[in-house]
Structure 1
Amino acid sequence: MKKVLGVAAAALTAVVSFASPASAADHTKHMHTGDAYGSVTGWSGEGVFTEEGDRVHICDTDADGRGVAIYVYKGTPDTGNVLYSMQVGGEGNCVTKSAADGGVYNLPESRVGFKFCRYWVADKIIHTGECKDYDFLNDNS
């Protein structure tokens, strides 16, 4: 009987350890500024949305004099409403917001959209370009 219970416990442990990483991977979405032109070499910024905790993380990855900006929507970028935006500039700099920050950062459990862009400042005005739209079902399941 002890041998049967030992085998059952080992099998259950194996199932849990194999299922968890796959589940987590399915709920993390990656975004890149170069995607606007289909370029995998022209990235100047990276973004990651993780459903668990509604974590939105963006980084400037190129010393090109431009930063990156993200606009977060309830719904899609085409039809939704902007909940908040973030910007960061300077190669290696990053910014993160999550549900733990409260308010608008606690995203709805529905379709959420992102407009991820490069940005620059000219004459004290923020300009955006090379934007790519993304949308995901934030079902956290």
Structure 2
Amino acid sequence: MDVFNRPDGVEDSKKTANPSESENNTILVAEDNKETSYFIKVVLEKSGYKVMISADGEDAIKRFMGNKDKIRLLILDVMMPGKNGKEVYDEIVKMSPDIKVIFVSGFTADIIHEEEICKEGQGYLKKPFLAKDLIGKVKEITGE
């Protein structure tokens, strides 16, 4: 897939309600795999979102602390060096109880739920995922 062209299933943000028109329109992505984080960034930006990328959990927490009024959604890899996605979410939710989250992992959904990583009202995507699945899950979790 050529990530510079609009991925299948991703609409032109100029044709739909533009999420970047709101004040808190940034999505913070914590993903240690560079290719995956780049894919997520391109897909979300092509859909009109602002994106911050962190390569690990500690950096994600620092970025959130400095931008918490702008960030509307977290996309967190379950397995990262240092703090994992669940640990990152547990720290951030103390600062911002209403923050929305989508966990991403190569693990199956039943393992994620069995380990109580992802709970009711939180999103989960199994890697690898398609652009349309990412956008669909973002819209579902944010209520767009």
TM-score tier by shorter-chain length is under 0.3
**Bigger strand fraction:** 1
TM-score (norm 1): 0.23
**Bigger helix fraction:** 2
TM-score (norm 2): 0.23
- The structure with the larger Rg is 1
